[in-house]
Structure 1
């Protein structure tokens, strides 16, 4: 995880949200985030479980950068990246390069 200067376009402070509702609220915010924009997550504990869930449910769609890493406060940038281009119908995953 890289350390960058804060530049997110949105912010969510999960310390103000009931623990059982935190992940759901973060996923709601990420769903509405345009590609290229970022969400700053502020938390009172390490975001590893949330990050693992995001990466599992949306592989390759988000980049992560730490602004602050505990022990009392964590600030994390979650940036939505563009979806990978889908191969053309009828072609292999390499766009036909493997077929000669």
Structure 2
């Protein structure tokens, strides 16, 4: 599992950085992002645009008011 903390990344740069990290994963691996808000828009973006995203395996956990951990699994081929 790869973890990426984007809380200090400027908002306009977050999604491209996350997409790049996801693309670098091997099939069957997952990317966990640490964010300052629930990444619902990112989930919908991945669901619509990323064929290798396993939406059924997506998980999100709110750690506190400013920390959300979301796991984006990559489909096995």
Q: TM-score range by the shorter chain?
A: 0.7 to 0.9
Name structure 1 gaps, 5 residues minimum: 1-8, 84-100
Deviation at 1:69, TM superposition (A): 5.8
1:17 pairs with one of 1, 5, 9:
9
Structure having the higher Rg: 1
Q: TM-score, normalised by structure 2?
A: 0.84
Runs of at least 4 residues of structure 1 off by over 4 A?
none
Pair 1:77 & 2:71 matched: yes
Larger RCO, structure (CA 8 Å, separation 6 or more): 2
- What secondary structure, in the 3-state scheme, does the structure 1 residue paired with 2:48 have? helix
Greater per-residue helix proportion = 2
Q: Identify if the C-alpha distance between structure 1 residues 60 and 34 changes in structure 2 by more than 3 Å, giving closer, same or farther.
A: closer
Name structure 2 gaps, 5 residues minimum: none
